[in-house]
Amino acid sequence: MSYLRSFVIGSSFFVFIWFFLVVRNISSSIKNYTYDDYTLVAPIYLGMMNVLSLYIAHQFDLSLRMRYVVIGIISPLIVIIFARWMKTYNFTNAEWNKYSLMLIMQHFLIFNLIVYYLEKNI
Sequential DSSP letters for 58-91? HHHT--HHHHHHHHHHHHHHHHHHHHHHHT-B--
> In angstroms, rounded to a whole number, what is the distance separating the alpha carbons of residues 68 and 56?
10
User: Which residues have a Cβ under 8 Å from the Cβ of 11 and sit 6 or more positions away?
Assistant: 43, 44, 46, 47, 50
| pLDDT by position in tens, the chain (length 122) | 999 999 999 999 999 999 999 999 999 899 999 999 999 999 999 999 999 999 999 999 999 999 999 999 999 999 999 999 999 999 999 999 999 999 999 999 999 999 999 999 99
pTM (predicted TM-score): 0.95
What are the residue ranges spanned by the domains of the chain? 2-121
